[in-house]
Amino acid sequence: MTTSLDEILETFDFLDDWEDRYKYLIDLGKELPPLDGSEKTDANKVRGCVSQVWLITSVDKTADGGPVLTFKGDSDALIVQGLVAIVTTLFSGKPAREILETDVEGIFGKLGLQEHLTPQRSNGLRSMVGRIRSDAQEALEAA
């Protein structure tokens, strides 16, 4: 996916109507490369999501040896797949420490996600972020 977080924020800001924002969210999800069936394992499944969500974490090292994480994901629900796209855009390619320090609530607040998602989707979004932060913490501890 080549959309940046800034582009997502600008587009959400530009679109006044939530129906248009939902359509954009679905389009973002459709841009995600699908996971291979072999990657949709129980180990990659995100717990706490009503829809099925899979996240795969890859850890590389920076020049100074710190961990950098990259994420790819998928879901069986269109809107949730769009949320996966936002979360992977937000965190992929970032150092573990930066992931842990990211003001996720502030970013989601700018997008207006909290007040426009069902409680189940909000819980799923928190579960995705929790999983990513947990992976970042583990990568830091292993470094």
Distance between CA atoms of 138 and 79, rounded to whole angstroms? 29
Average pLDDT over residues 30-57: 93
Q: Give the pLDDT band (50/70/90) at residue 1.
A: low
Edge-to-edge strand list for the sheet holding 67-75:
53-61, 67-75, 94-95
- CA-to-CA distance for 81 and 35, rounded, in angstroms? 12
One-character DSSP codes across 47-94? TT-SS-EEEEEEEEE-TTS-EEEEEEEEESSHHHHHHHHHHHHHHTTE
Q: Which domain, by its residues, includes 87?
A: 5-142
For 73-112, the pLDDT digits (tens) are 999 999 999 999 999 999 999 999 999 999 998 998 888 8
CATH number for the domain harbouring residue 76: 3.90.1010.10
| Residue 38 pLDDT greater than 90, yes or no | yes
The total of structural domains in the chain comes to 1
Q: Which two tokens stand for residue 25?
A: 């969210």
- pTM (2 d.p.): 0.92
Q: Which residues are catalytic?
A: 49
pLDDT tens digits for range 25-37 = 999 999 999 899 9
What distance in Å separates the CA atoms of residue 70 and residue 91, rounded to the nearest whole number? 7
Q: Contact at 8 Å (CB) between 82 and 26?
A: yes
Specify whether the CB–CB gap between 117 and 84 falls below 8 A: no
